[in-house]
Amino acid sequence: MAGFDTPAHYLSWQFFRHTPWRQWPMGINRPYGMDAPGSIVLADGIPVVAFILKPVSAWLPADFQYFGLWILSCFVLQAWFGYKLMTRVCEDFWLRLLGSGFFLCATVFLMRTCLHPALSAQWVLLAGIYLALDERPRELAWLALLWFVALVHAYLFVMVGTIWLFNWAGRVLHRRELRGRLLAWAAGITLLVILNMWAAGYFVAGALSPMPVQGGTNLLFPLWTGGCIAHPWSRFIPCQIFDWRGSLHAGDGFGYFGLGFLLLVPLALVLGLKARQTTSTRAASHAWPWLFLGGLLLLLFAIGPDAYLGRWRLWSFGSPEWLSKISGVFRSAARMEWVMWYLILLATLRVTVSRLGKSAARIVLGVALVVQCVDLSAAAHFNRKQLSHAPYFRDQLTDPVWDELAGKYGHVVYLQPSGVMGATGKKMTVDLIAALPNYRQTAHAAGLRGQTINIAYLARVDQAALDRARARRDAWLPQGLSEPSTYYVVDDDGLWQSVLCAPSHGQWHGRIDQLRVLIPEASSLQGLPASESCPNGPKHGA
């Protein structure tokens, strides 16, 4: 509950664990956002873990969360698949171990650990590259990987899917004798993965609605040490050294290489031009061009229609409306640069270890890795503090009346301030709902007590449904009307004034733990203070 997006990830699990067993899609999460139901996928709740833990949810603590264990597993698997990738480019154990260290301290990976736990699973990208460099088609392994990553995060799925698609295309063209088998497997894998996505909840209402794309990737991203956390990412290269007037405020386009990696790049370029390969590799040579072609396509998508080199615009063009709608499904397009980031790292390591002798390569990689770790140590320490600080969130809804309400009312309606998430018909600002402390408290309390809530912070929402539901309540509540088995937390100042002066139909309205609450049919509840009165005088008659 300490981050900006992570509360939604946690809350999605808290509500999902109470969903019925017999539902389709299996990942639908109606209790978390009843006005426009989404799914565990749309809240980045790491569906694969939620599905595994749901059967044993009754034996887990009420406030159980699995994100710490998930991040730990991502560190282990990032190191493991980094090592496996190095087996594709060299035979020496120590070179493989040193090379895996660069994957483990990849900035694009470390930055996500305290922001988006699901996106910390970048080991799936390494696994996809590893399979692509295999001489064998590895059909079952590809099916397992694509099936799994579809249950982790949509962006990672698109990246792994692109690696698979281009690798499969290369194999079809390279191995004529296997074309029939490869095409049949491709059709089968596609069908099974789509069915898996349907079951997980990818195709609920509003899930594929386009949204404004957030920024892009500047072509100098490997050098920029800023990022989307408050702490700079380099001990040696200050952010101010490249004064680009905010053009590289990267956000999702952050991709600083790290000083050790940056020092290896020019060395690898020189070695690649002048030296001959001294060690053999176990990778399929025909796979490299197809890997880089897929990575380049993703990078171009990440850059978007406005390309910058620092503060200088290289090109700008308008996209057709149909293409903008498709690309708008992935509004954080800059993340798509990650595949090329890892491919450049792997290619740099490959050239370095294959062009130098074993002893020299060990020294070079060892020194570069030490420089890399020292350079990134301040940011890593900052991330560690973010993940290991004392509990940030404290449940402030401690009044016993909340438990009494949960026993009588199964649904909670949170009415956000005007202008947030489409309230009162204004344009949606999807990010703001997660930042409202009263919403976090209300949703957390409802999730712990097995109630449902009307609105959720999701990656995509059915905005029309949200607007209709809010308009109905804006019309009903000032008239003293309400919905069955529902109480309301009113965070909108204007609406609260209207509620206080509404005709009396037995409702109670006042403050519980500093939240403004409207309770229909409250006469049977114990311990409620006197109802607040209309500030403009007596209420209208019922």
> What would the pLDDT profile of 229-238 be if each residue is shown by its tens digit?
556 788 888 7
Q: From CA 165, how far away is CA 336, in angstroms rounded?
A: 15
Q: From CA 83, how far away is CA 102, in angstroms rounded?
A: 10
Which SS3 state, helix, strand or coil, does residue 197 take?
helix
The candidate with the shortest Cα–Cα distance to 71, out of 106, 108, 116, is: 116
Output the pLDDT for position 379. Answer: 86
pTM: 0.91
Q: From CA 499, how far away is CA 176, in angstroms rounded?
A: 73
Output the pLDDT for position 487. Answer: 94
Cβ proximity of 100 and 79 under 8 Å: yes
Percent of residues in the chain assigned helix, strand, coil, to nearest 5: 55, 5, 40
The candidate with the shortest Cα–Cα distance to 531, out of 518, 515, 514, is: 518
The gap between the terminal CA atoms of the chain, to the nearest Å, is 42
Output the pLDDT for position 51. Answer: 96
- Every domain of the chain and the residues it spans: 70-386, 396-519
CA–centroid distance for 103 within its chain? 20
DSSP 406: H
Q: From CA 489, how far away is CA 477, in angstroms rounded?
A: 12
Where does 357-427 show beta strands of DSSP type E? 411-415
The segments of the chain whose pLDDT lies below 50 read: 228, 243, 245-249, 424-430, 540-542
Cβ proximity of 189 and 139 under 8 Å: yes
- Give every CB contact of residue 300 below 8 A, 6+ residues apart in sequence: none
CA–centroid distance for 52 within its chain? 19
The candidate with the shortest Cα–Cα distance to 171, out of 36, 86, 289, is: 289
